[in-house]
Structure 1
Amino acid sequence: MSDMSVGRSAYGAGYDNGYGNYGDDFGGKKFSSGECQTCKNRMYQDGSNEMVSFKAAGHIDPDNAASVVMSHEQEHVSNAYQKAEMEGGEVVRANVRLNTSICPECGRSYISGGVTSTQIRYTNEDNPYQKDLKSTDAARVKGASVDIDAG
C-alpha cells in the first residue's frame, strides 16, 4: 500500500477537491491560482472513428474539463444506443472512465481524457447456433415454473 500525501497531509491544509493545492507549498514549489503555460496550451482531441465533438484539437478550461470530457464521452454512449436501435441490437453494457494526470509544470491535477466502452448484443434468428440455443433453453426451462392448485 502506498502512502500519498498532498501538500502537508493527504486531506489537510491546501486540499482542493483534486484540482491541486493553490497557494500551498508542495515539494518546495509554490503554486498560484493562475494557469501555467502547459495547462494553457493543453489541447484535447478525439481519437475514435465516430462523428463526435473534438475531432479537431481544442482547448478546454481546466475547471470545466471533467464535465466537458464526460459530455463528450456520453456522445459515444448515445451513438451506441442509436446503432443498436438501428441494427436490431441491445446495449448490454456502457462504461465511461475519465483519466487524470498531473501537470509537470505546475503540479495541478487535471482530466487528461476519457474512455468509453460499450457492448451491443445482436440476435440473429437466421443463425443456426442461435436457433439451437433457443431450443436448448426452452427444453431446460419447460415445466420449471408450474403452479398446481389442488383445489
Structure 2
Amino acid sequence: MVMQPNFKYLVNKIDLNLPLIGVYDAPNPIKFEPLVKPKPEQTECIFKFFNDWINGKTLHITKKNYGCGGCGHWLWGLENRDRESFIKFLVDQEGLKESHKLMDQWLDTSNPYEAEHPNILIGPLIENQYQYLKTVTFFCKS
C-alpha cells in the first residue's frame, strides 16, 4: 500500500496559492494527461513549462526528448558537452555556483538521477500516481 501524502495542512498554513508540482518516474505517461513535451532537437529548459504546470498540464520527458542539456545530464545521465563547457554554462549562464572551482567540486560529489522507468513527468499532483512520485516542489510568488 502506498502512503497518500496530504499537503493541505501545509499549503493552508503558508497560504500557498500556486499548485504543488510533482516529479514522477513512471512507466505509463497516459495516466498524466494532458501532456506537453519539449520540441525535439531543441534545448528547452523544463521551467519553460511552468505555466503549463500551473494550468494542469504535465511535462513528459524521455531519454530521447529531454529538453535542455542540464536536464539530459541530471535526469538521464547524458553527457552532451565536455566538462569544462558544462561548468562554464552552469556558472556563467545559469548562475548555479559562485565559481568554476566550486561547480567542479560539486559535480565531483553529485550524481545524476537514475531513472527507474522510461518517463519522467513534471506537473500537478495526481493522487492515484503517488507510487511514482519522487519529489514535490512548492512555488510561491514574492
More helix as a share of residues? 2
Highest RCO, 1 vs 2 (Cα 8 Å, sep ≥ 6): 2
The TM-score bracket by the shorter chain reads: under 0.3
TM-score for the superposition, normalised by structure 1: 0.24
More strand as a share of residues? 1
Q: Which structure has the larger Rg?
A: 1
TM-score for the superposition, normalised by structure 2: 0.25
